[in-house]
Every structure is written in C-alpha cells, then in structure tokens.
C-alpha cells in the first residue's frame, strides 16, 4: 500500500477528485490533506469526505524538522493540488522525485512566481492563445521547472472567457491527474 498526502491552498476540487479516485482502489491511500489557508474550501470538502485536513503555517513548512518527519511517516508521495507556496529544498531533498504538482497551463509557458489559478487563464486569454492545457510534473527548487511527467491540451475558442478556460482546464485535470499519479506511484 502506497501512501499519499495532498497539499492544497484553496477550493480543493482536485484534492476531492483524487481522494474519491483512490477511495475504491486498494493500493493507494490518501492519508491526509494539508492546507495553508485558514477557511479554504478544502476544509469543508474533507469534512464531507471524512478525510482529515490539517491547517499548517508557512513557518512550519520552512523551518520545522518535526513537520518533515511527520510527513515521512504519512506519505510515500506528496501531491500538490492547487498548492500555492513554494516547496522548500529540505522537503524536496526528503522526497526526491516524490512530490508531484499540477499546473494549469502548458509549461514552460505561463509558469513561474505569480502564475497560478485565474492569473494563468487571464494571461492565456490576453495572449489570444488557441490552445492551453495542463502539466503534471515533479517538483524541484524552481517554480514550475521540474521534470514533466504528462501534458494534455484543449482547444480554445475566441469567445472563451477566462472562466471558460478555467472550466476546460478543470475538466482535463479531473480526467487525468489521479490516473497520472497512479501511474507514477504504482510501478
Ligand atoms: C487548479 O487548476 C490547479 O491546476 C491550479 O490551481 C487550481 C486549484 O483548483 N494550480 C496552480 O495554479 C499551481 N500553480 P482546486 O483548488 O479546485 O483544485
């Protein structure tokens, strides 16, 4: 049995999708969700799903060995599902090639600091892109620069608003993210 911990910062719809996907699979267990934003939507989702969701601080993430030691007990892999803080080197060193992120664009385009959520979709719209997509990648020390595991694209219409783009991206994320996680974890 492989264990995963999910980090989220916001609504947590991807986290919910991942939890549901692995619920009926016997080989992967989502042990816990961690969130750095008090009151984020993910807390209600976890309550409904009967999954523990723990609030943690940036300080804990960056300076606590206890936190990393705790994670080592709880997780073989860490999945970032809409998690917006940078991952410190110490954590990356403790989980080499075992931290997986999803980015709502076709990296290397629209990556880097400040490029998250609607900021990405607004930029895609502004640049009149004819397609966008998702990138699932390992996390390294630079924002959105780790080795790419998987990408999927979706066509855009002139009439698509940034909200329409966000919806198309979510559809791709829900379809692919859990399966890609499974393919990495279960060798
Ligand atoms: C997702 O679209 C995810 O790709 C994006 O935030 C959204 C979270 O939605 N992540 C990033 O922008 C990371 N740079 P959710 O909270 O409903 O899963």
Which CATH number belongs to the domain containing residue 113 in this structure?
3.40.50.170
Average pLDDT rounded to a whole number, residues 55-71: 92
Average pLDDT rounded to a whole number, residues 29-36: 98
Per the listing, tokens 């934003």 go with: 37
For CA atoms 64, 65, 69, 75, give the dihedral sign.
Answer: positive
Label the pairing between strands 77-80 and 148-155.
Answer: unpaired
Q: For residue range 142-152, what is the model confidence (pLDDT) as tens digits?
A: 889 999 999 99
Per the listing, tokens 């309550």 go with: 47
Exactly one of 103, 121, 137, 176 is catalytic; name it. Answer: 103
Residue 101 CA: which ligand 1 atom is closest? Answer: 13
Based on the structure, what is the number of domains in the chain?
1
Q: For residue range 86-135, what is the model confidence (pLDDT) as tens digits?
A: 999 999 999 999 999 999 999 999 999 899 999 999 999 999 999 999 99
Tell me the two tokens of residue 137: 């990648």
- The whole-number pLDDT of residue 185 equals 96
Confidence of residue 25 (pLDDT cuts 50, 70, 90): confident
Centre of ligand 1 from the C-alpha of residue 20, in Å: 17
Residue 154 domain boundaries: 2-185
The yes-or-no verdict on residue 1 having pLDDT over 80 is yes
Assign residue 120 a region (left: φ > 0; alpha: ψ between -120 and 50; beta: otherwise): alpha
Helix (H) or strand (E) holding 47: helix 41-49
Centre of ligand 1 from the C-alpha of residue 81, in Å: 6
């Amino acid at each position: 049995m492989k264990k995963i911990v999910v980090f989220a910062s916001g609504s947590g719809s991807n986290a919910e999708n991942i939890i549901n996907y692995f619920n009926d699979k016997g080989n992967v267990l989502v042990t816990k969700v961690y969130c750095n934003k008090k009151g984020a939507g993910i807390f209600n989702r976890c309550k409904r799903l009967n999954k523990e969701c723990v609030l943690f601080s940036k300080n804990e993430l960056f300076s606590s060995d206890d936190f990393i030691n705790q994670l080592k007990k709880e997780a073989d892999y860490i999945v970032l599902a809409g998690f917006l803080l940078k991952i410190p080197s110490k954590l990356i060193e403790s989980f080499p090639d075992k931290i997986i992120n999803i980015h709502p664009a076709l990296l290397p385009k629209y990556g880097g600091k400040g490029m998250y959520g609607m900021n990405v979709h607004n930029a895609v719209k502004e640049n009149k892109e004819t397609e966008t997509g998702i990138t699932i990648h390992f996390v390294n020390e630079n924002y959105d620069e780790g080795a790419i595991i998987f990408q999927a694209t979706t066509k855009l219409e002139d009439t698509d608003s940034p909200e329409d783009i966000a919806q198309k991206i979510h559809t791709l994320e829900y379809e692919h993210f859990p399966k890609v996680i499974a393919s990495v974890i279960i060798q």
